[in-house]
Chains A and B, each alone.
Chain A
Amino acid sequence: MDTTPSAGGRALPSSGLAPGRAARHPGRLLRHALGVGPFLCYLTLFLIVPSAAVVTSAFQSPSGGFTWANIRASLSGVYLQAYGGSLELSAIAALASAVLGTIIAVALASSDRPLLHRLVTTGCGVMANTGGLPLAFAFIASIGNFGIVTEMLSALGFNPYDHGFSLYSLAGLAIVYCYFLIPLMVLVMLPAVQALRQEWFEAAAMLGARRRQCWQLVGIPVLAPAFLAALMVLFTDAFAAYATADVLTQGSIGLVPIEIGSLIQGNVLAGQQNLGDALGFGMILVVVVVGVAYAVLQRRAARWQR
């Protein structure tokens, strides 16, 4: 047993066996695990500790005792409405982006121009990271109250704001969210769509499958995992978004992140701190529930694939 790091260096001819050997020598495994220590400490200190603080504080009264009062308050009145608004917005934005993104991926996959592919994937990579304030301002400048597109349309005699449309509504927010959700969907679905070969359908058809069965037995099982995974991430992305919603709604629509933000900013009464934490706990819970629901679906999808 050599305690210097060079021990691994000398055992190199068999380095492919390293995991198995490490497992048989608990001491070595421990030493190897130490190398991950700094990373784990960092993650614990700056992610786990704050998250745990939110969860525990959600169940604490201002004096420190256990209570359900914060949770109950966070599920009533304006906060309950905020949950409704947030869930509706994220569901609409995620579903719309998932469907549109898949359509775009299919359209792109059916083209064989490498330049077009490169252009779209690069563009998607950039757009998927374009969120927050600049995006909100860009939409205000185009289809806001006095945006350029709004003015062009009203010059043509159709002002969308006279027909019930508003950028500062739930539907308006969903349109803006699609801007950074669709590109992500395209990037995730493109490889899956490209993997679905014409030959597989031909093979299935030769074995006597009808068009519907082709999709049921071949198409959907191939596409489902990527689609579901992306749908889950799109939903949580939209659910957590704060900057865009803050600029566009200015508090006119209740959304959970906005409510938490105003609780933090508003130097509130002593008990309100715990109320904010209760809302935060609720947000984490929603993300976890979506993740678990997804894992269950994924297991079913895996059964189709067998």
Chain B
Amino acid sequence: MAALAGARRRQRAAAPRTAFRVGRTTRWVVLVLTGLYFLVPIVASGRYAFEGNGGAFSLASLGLVARDTALWDGVVTSLEISAGTALITLLLLVPTSIWINLRLPSWRRTMENLTLLPLVVPAVVLVLGILTSFRNLPGLLLGTPVILALEYVVLALPYTYRAIDSGVRAIDLHTLVEASRSLGAGWVQCFRLVLLPNLRGSIFAAAFLSVGFCLGEFAIANLLTFNTFPTRLYEVGTEYATEAVTVSVLGLVVTWAVLLGISALGGRGPRRRGAAGLPLLSDPAASGEARAAAVADAGTGSS
């Protein structure tokens, strides 16, 4: 016990001192107020959704949700779009990132800036562009949700590229490729047996990021009039407020589970691998961190 306490004290003493002197009370007031701001809407919608007559807990709104077939159609469409988006994202970005780091390291900066371009074009404006430029193409492209998957790949690019690229940079790419090539592996074998297993963490992170994006995107799907999970949720909301809140609570829970999954993957990876002496997985590629990384790059990139 004493040793534990000692370790704990040492750990605390080792914490870096920042230039800011904040009193205990001030700190806790700030953090508690923040917590309230973020928790109240969640708790309120939970109560709103599951409150029956007289304030008792009720699952009546869930029954309504279960009978809404258009909603389930929307969920299926959204899941299909998610799968397509994740697949295209990985097929496009994993080889590109490996290639850049292996053959064109001088292009890294350029690539980072290119992947930030989607931030310049708001989703609503992209819809205008799609309608204008693909108007004359056969209905195959604009008439099916395929166009959504194709565009979501672009819109999630600032985050997905960072997730994959940080993974590729974290492995010793040159050594792994040299070693496997000199042992007689072809490029396909090298990719499949050596690189992919080493990039598992960041590949999962990128896939989850794009799925999370697809499950929440509303603007483009709505303006191109497709029935996805968010657009059906919007329609439900205009008719039955309680049901809509129930569905959105369920949607939030699913999305958070996905995002926490990414975070857990990122947090667990290095430790498990690190024990074997090979830091093969990337640093945490949690979604928020991927966004923060994109912001940081936007900061240094444009100057």
Contacts and interface: CB of A to CB of B under 8 A. Distances in A.
Contacts of A49: 129, 133
B30 A103 contact: yes
Given A260-B124, A280-B125, A291-B120, A110 B18 contact: yes
Contacts of B187: 5
Contact of B48 (A39, A148, A298): A148
Contacts of B27: 107, 110-111
A125 B259 contact: yes
Contact of A229 (B31, B114, B299): B299
B230 A47 contact: no
A283 B95 CA distance: 33
Interface string B205-236: 00000001000111100110000001001100
Given A38-B92, A198-B18, A104 B31 contact: yes
B96 interface: yes
A216 interface: no
Contacts of A16: 174
Interface stretch (B97-105, B196-204, B274-282): B97-105
Nearest to A104: B34
B126 A137 contact: no
A277 B132 contact: yes
Interface stretch (A61-69, A76-84, A126-134): A126-134
B112 to A, nearest CB: 13
Interface residues of A, number: 118
Given A126-B260, A133-B237, A9 B30 contact: no
A200 B19 contact: yes
Interface string A269-295: 000010011001001100110011011
B118 interface: yes
Contact of B96 (A36, A236, A277): A36
Given A32-B103, A229-B296, A122 B22 contact: no
Q: Which of A103, A106, A232, A292 has the largest number of chain B CB atoms within 10 A? A: A106
17 contacts: A32-B99, A38-B96, A109-B18, A121-B288, A126-B256, A126-B260, A127-B288, A134-B249, A135-B41, A138-B252, A140-B241, A179-B38, A183-B288, A219-B19, A225-B300, A233-B295, A233-B298
Interface of B: 11-12, 15-22, 26-27, 30-31, 34, 37-38, 40-42, 44-45, 47-49, 92-93, 95-96, 99-100, 102-107, 111, 114, 117-134, 150-151, 153-154, 157, 174, 177-178, 181-182, 187, 212, 216-219, 222-223, 230, 233-234, 237, 241, 244-245, 248-249, 251-252, 255-256, 259-260, 263, 286-289, 291-292, 294-296, 298-300, 302-303
A264 B299 contact: no
Contacts of B177: 9, 12
Nearest to A237: B119
A232 B298 contact: yes
A254 interface: no
B128 A260 contact: yes
For the complex of A and B, the 7 pairs showing the least CB-CB separation, nearest first, are A125-B288, A50-B129, A229-B299, A240-B122, A142-B44, A112-B15, A134-B248
Interface in A72-127: 103-104, 106-112, 114, 116, 120-127
Contacts of B294: 233
Contact of B128 (A12, A147, A242, A276): A276
Contacts of B34: 104, 182
B244 A53 contact: no
Contacts of A143: 41
Given A178-B37, A229-B300, 11 more contacts: A12-B181, A33-B104, A46-B150, A52-B129, A110-B18, A121-B289, A125-B288, A131-B216, A187-B289, A187-B291, A225-B299
Interface in A206-245: 214, 218-219, 225-226, 228-230, 232-233, 236, 239-240, 242-243
B42 A138 contact: yes
